[in-house]
Amino acid sequence: MMVSVMHTVQEQEKQSSNRVVLDVRNLRVYYATPLGDVRAVDDVSFQVYDGEIVGLVGESGCGKTTTAMAILRLVQPPGRIVGGQIILDGIDLATLHGQALRDIRWRKLALIPQGAMNSLNPVMKIHRQIADAIETHEGRQPRGELKERILNLLSTVGLPSRVYDMYPHELSGGMKQRVCIAMAIALHPDLVIADEPTSALDVVVQRKVGETLLDVKERLGVSMIIIGHDMGLMAQLVDRLAVMYAGRMVEIAPVETVFEEPLHPYTQLLIESIPSIKERKPLKLTEGLTHDLRNPLPGCIFQFRCPHVTDHCRAVNPPLREVRPRHQVACHLYE
């Protein structure tokens, strides 16, 4: 009997983790410039499952932040969403405007922006800032309940209750970043997007903030997209890694697969370039030509740096294809 109950619970968990929370389809975001449109995000598709952390990686300028801002519908001019769907719990955010969009933000979808911890208000106590985030969306709350809720949030992100009455300057960088995480989860969103949540923190604190994010995911079951460069931190944190290159998604796979058996030549070079103290390896990934994002040539975007390039790669852009469950790659080598 006990076994069958446990089995049922496991089955339910398995089923719930098969639920797609966010489905990004063929997203295109361009920035208008005097020399033509920069295709910062070009036909990007990926899914985030319930209770999953997806890490978004790729070199500077490949379109990670633009993808995140587009999901939140926060792309600023000269940027604009040119096409695609951003389906969150069955609603296409790309079609929403005004109040409908404001209702979704924070309640269903929360952002921890790059450098969030430095934008806390220096003259406002922590509890007031978290209270503001709650009351802006839910209206005024009874004092006692609000206090209890804020203390609960602080405890969820591993902060002591004395932080409630403190000012930002009294907190370390890691503590401030935890306050930002508390604000992001205050309204129980389904999905949190964190843009480089550990940059500007020292290594030990980075790991601690990483642990806090994992803990929040496990306790609240919230799904997350974490943008970053640090592959070590990604290995610690994420379930799947999504690798972007020059505005395109080139591979998305379970994190162990990315480290052990990367398929896309760019992912392979990215993994081979991770420094190791045991084995001093030469840097495989050279700086090099990419497509001009304003004037992309036909074919694969990685053709100029790819060690396996063929004429077919120069002529035809490989679409993202599923090679195994939850593992997709955009490369002609795997057709």
Ligand X SMILES: Nc1ncnc2c1ncn2[C@@H]1O[C@H](COP(=O)(O)OP(=O)(O)OP(=O)(O)O)[C@@H](O)[C@H]1O
Q: Binding mask 283-302 vs ligand X (x if CB under 6 A, - otherwise)? A: ----------x---------
Q: Which of residues 4, 35, 60, 280 is near ligand X by CB under 6 A?
A: 60
Looking at the Cβ atoms of 279 and 287, the one nearer to ligand X is 287
Q: Which of residues 37, 42, 64, 113 is near ligand X by CB under 6 A?
A: 64
Residue with tokens 């991770």: 274
Question: For 32, which DSSP code?
Answer: E
Q: Which of residues 62, 71, 120, 255 is near ligand X by CB under 6 A?
A: 62
Question: Amino acid identity, residue 190?
Answer: D
Residue with tokens 């389904």: 190
Asked, as a colleague might, if the bond just before 78 is cis with ω within 30 of 0, I would say yes
**Of the listed pieces 30-38, 102-110, 134-142, 149-157, which binds ligand X according to CB under 6 A?**
30-38
The minimum distance between CB 106 and ligand X, in angstroms, equals 22
- Residue 66 is a binding residue for ligand X (CB under 6 A): yes
| Measured distance CA(180)–CA(129) in Å, rounded | 10
Please count the residues of this chain forming the interface with ligand X, following the rule CB under 6 A: 15
Looking at the Cβ atoms of 80 and 149, the one nearer to ligand X is 80
The minimum distance between CB 107 and ligand X, in angstroms, equals 25
Question: Amino acid identity, residue 230?
Answer: D
**Of the listed pieces 46-54, 63-71, 105-113, 197-205, which binds ligand X according to CB under 6 A?**
63-71
Looking at the Cβ atoms of 18 and 119, the one nearer to ligand X is 119
What the block records as the tokens of 314 is 């120069």
| Measured distance CA(250)–CA(61) in Å, rounded | 15
Site for ligand X in 123-162 (CB under 6 A): none
Looking at the Cβ atoms of 69 and 109, the one nearer to ligand X is 69
- Residue 40 is a binding residue for ligand X (CB under 6 A): yes
- 105 forms beta bridges with 109
- Residue 105 is a binding residue for ligand X (CB under 6 A): no
17: left (phi over 0), alpha (psi -120 to 50) or beta: alpha
Q: Which of residues 45, 61, 102, 208 is near ligand X by CB under 6 A?
A: 61
Question: For 190, which DSSP code?
Answer: S
**For residue 78, how many C-alpha atoms fall within 13 Å in the half-sphere facing its CB?**
11
Neighbours of 87 (CB within 10 A): 18
- Residue 113 is a binding residue for ligand X (CB under 6 A): no
**For residue 90, how many C-alpha atoms fall within 13 Å in the half-sphere facing its CB?**
1
Residues that bind ligand X (CB under 6 A): 31, 33, 38, 40, 58, 60-66, 78-79, 293
